[in-house]
Amino acid sequence: MDTSPQLIAVLVFLSVAVLAVPLAKRIGIGAVLGYLVAGIAIGPWGFRLINDVDEILHFSEMGVVLLLFVIGLELNPAKLWKMRKPIFGLGTAQVLITSAVLCGLLYWAGFGLSAAIIGAIGLSMSSTAMALQLMKEKGMRGDGGQSGFAVLLFQDMAVVPALALVPILAGTGGTGADWFTILSKVVGLAILVLGCRYLLRPIFRYVAASGVREVFTATALLVVLGAAVLMQQIGFSMALGTFLAGVLLAESEYQHELEVAIEPFKGLLLGLFFISVGMVLNLGVFYSHILQVLVGVCVLLLVKSVVLYGLARFFRINRSERLQFSAVLSQGGEFAFVLFAAAKSQNIFNSEQIAMLLVVVTISMMTTPILMQLVDKILARRYNPGDEPTQASDVEDDEPQVIVVGFGRFGQVIGRLLMANEIRLTVLERDVSQVSILRSYGYKVYYGDATELDLLRAAGAEKAKAIIIASDLPEETMTVVRLCQQYFPNLSILARARGRVEAHELLSAGVELFSRETFSSALDLGRKALIDLGMHPHQAYRAQQYFKRLDENMLRELVPVRQGEVQQISRVAEARRELENLFQREIQHDSKLSDAWDLDDEVQEARHEERD
């Protein structure tokens, strides 16, 4: 039987992703670079496993499209409206200034005027996929992250006029006053907005009522791809279309389900996108023009990051975040591919120019993760106090010292409790914006990734008494646990667990001191519910404590023995029944206990009779 070539290609993609990404993460270069390198390896310039690069690049742009849909889902119109200033202020400024500078440079380097203009605009756009991924990995939640996102959003919108500019510059375009095109755009947009607002909810309701999960997923994909194609047909960018659809659906009751349905496709297609970007890298051009390419990359990165840094200052982005902000957006992006392809078809570029530009863009995308690591190092040096061995050894203090990993919502509560009890704290945080805030409050904070042995050492893990891992990433938590067990056996480890699964992981790693992040607060609210329903507060409190104890015992008894999921699930179901029964019995027993002394005569007699 023949195996279709497409299937082989899928196999190649999947295996290379499976091989490269975990490896890249282990080496510490991050997932994105792993994908890119994997792409180079299988592409026409590597082992030539896949040659149909353009086709795949085109297809994998769906990853970016889905990404923007998911982002849109989290931004309802009100939130978006709040961001209008950074989007239009910062975004416009970035695109205009960068394009102007780059245009001059390209013209000076011998490009024609039209080529220089289109080239500059294309290069001024950053890679949404790359930048968002890195912003997530680096935990950029503050000002810098928000502004970065705003700039990316503006760039997505700017693609539309940029694409419209191509035929005009090539001299082939119409007068631009084609009423029919404008009308079709307006109608198309109206269809999208009205459809999302009024049509989709009944459709989703109808589909959800069928109860077939796959159909819901199919509907979600249909909506996203439909919006993308509609927008493309009327001349907007697909990504912008799906983003808009996402925003319009952000307030619907299906927001969360849509997100869950799209998420795996988004992840896979984004991976495919990065792989295909790696495949596009024309190593032939790279080798033959190595000097020009390297100069080009350096100039591009320099211009973009200097402009971004300047704007960050001008727009008063937190000092600590400016470097991250300018580095994360310093690369050329996927829109350059689209724009340059359009320009080439109109003969604005010759094939040598476009090959050069694309190599520069691709390499600039690869440098970004490296650049971000460099920024990390700089920030670490700036924010991490140097080792003070003399001071530490001079004064022998026996105050207990505790290291807290992650100072988000969870870590802060712990930190405040410990600080209030005069425990010396050292905080490890990978969000720079948080670092500077915490510093201003006088916390001792180290910036960086707690899974790095050096950082733990610098934070004093060798002498500290305990480490509290309050990270919200289970993976990170387990890595830190293992590091500490191996290198700092002196530390007692306390950890935040997301739920039962993570609790079991911690238990099997030998960590006994953990809290499930929502368990206690959920119990607390449950107790309040019991009181509200009329139970006496003390009874409700005891019920809560009983439940807690039983559930915790059950958790420890049910550590998975790795014997198949299904069995595990039925065991859990059984355990839940058992828990409820036990609970009933204990509570009844509990209230009887209070009769134990000072019984009245009748009851006492009854008891005696029972015994006889």
529 to 568: interface string for another protein, x by CB under 8 A: -------xxxxxxx--------------------------
The two beta strands, 492-497 and 401-405, are unpaired
As measured in angstroms, the least distance from the Cβ of 591 to another protein is 6
All residues at 6 or more sequence positions from 324 whose CB lies less than 8 Å from its CB, including other chains? 138, 140, 144, 372, 375, 379, 432
Among 108, 179, 198, 597, binds another protein (CB under 8 A): 597
When the beta carbons of 390 and 421 are compared against another protein, the nearer one is 421
- Cα(218)–Cα(373) distance, rounded to whole angstroms? 39
Helical residues (DSSP H) of 234-350, grouped into ranges: 238-249, 255-280, 283-288, 290-314, 319-328, 334-345
When the beta carbons of 198 and 597 are compared against another protein, the nearer one is 597
What is residue 43's three-state secondary structure? coil
As measured in angstroms, the least distance from the Cβ of 606 to another protein is 13
Q: How many positions of this chain bind another protein (CB under 8 A)?
A: 17
When the beta carbons of 260 and 525 are compared against another protein, the nearer one is 525
527: left (phi over 0), alpha (psi -120 to 50) or beta: alpha
As measured in angstroms, the least distance from the Cβ of 595 to another protein is 8
Among 1, 396, 594, 609, binds another protein (CB under 8 A): 594
All residues at 6 or more sequence positions from 531 whose CB lies less than 8 Å from its CB, including other chains? 537, 540
As measured in angstroms, the least distance from the Cβ of 537 to another protein is 4
Q: Which uninterrupted H or E stretch holds 446? A: strand 445-447
CB 63 within 8 A of CB 334: no
**What end-to-end distance do the CA atoms of the chain give, in Å?**
83
Under the criterion CB under 8 A, does residue 600 sit at the interface with another protein? Answer: yes
When the beta carbons of 22 and 537 are compared against another protein, the nearer one is 537
Under the criterion CB under 8 A, does residue 417 sit at the interface with another protein? Answer: no
What is residue 460's three-state secondary structure? coil
When the beta carbons of 51 and 591 are compared against another protein, the nearer one is 591
When the beta carbons of 487 and 583 are compared against another protein, the nearer one is 583
Among 599, 605, 606, 607, binds another protein (CB under 8 A): 599
When the beta carbons of 222 and 522 are compared against another protein, the nearer one is 522
- Is the Cα dihedral 352, 358, 361, 367 positive or negative? negative
Among 603, 605, 606, 607, binds another protein (CB under 8 A): 603
As measured in angstroms, the least distance from the Cβ of 519 to another protein is 17
DSSP 8-class letter at 178: -
Under the criterion CB under 8 A, does residue 3 sit at the interface with another protein? Answer: no
Q: Which of residues 481-540 bind another protein (CB under 8 A)?
A: 536-540
As measured in angstroms, the least distance from the Cβ of 379 to another protein is 43
When the beta carbons of 420 and 566 are compared against another protein, the nearer one is 420
Whole-number Cα distances in Å, 603 to 588, 594, 608, 612:
17, 13, 9, 14
What is the contact surface with another protein in residues (CB under 8 A)? 536-542, 591, 594, 596-603
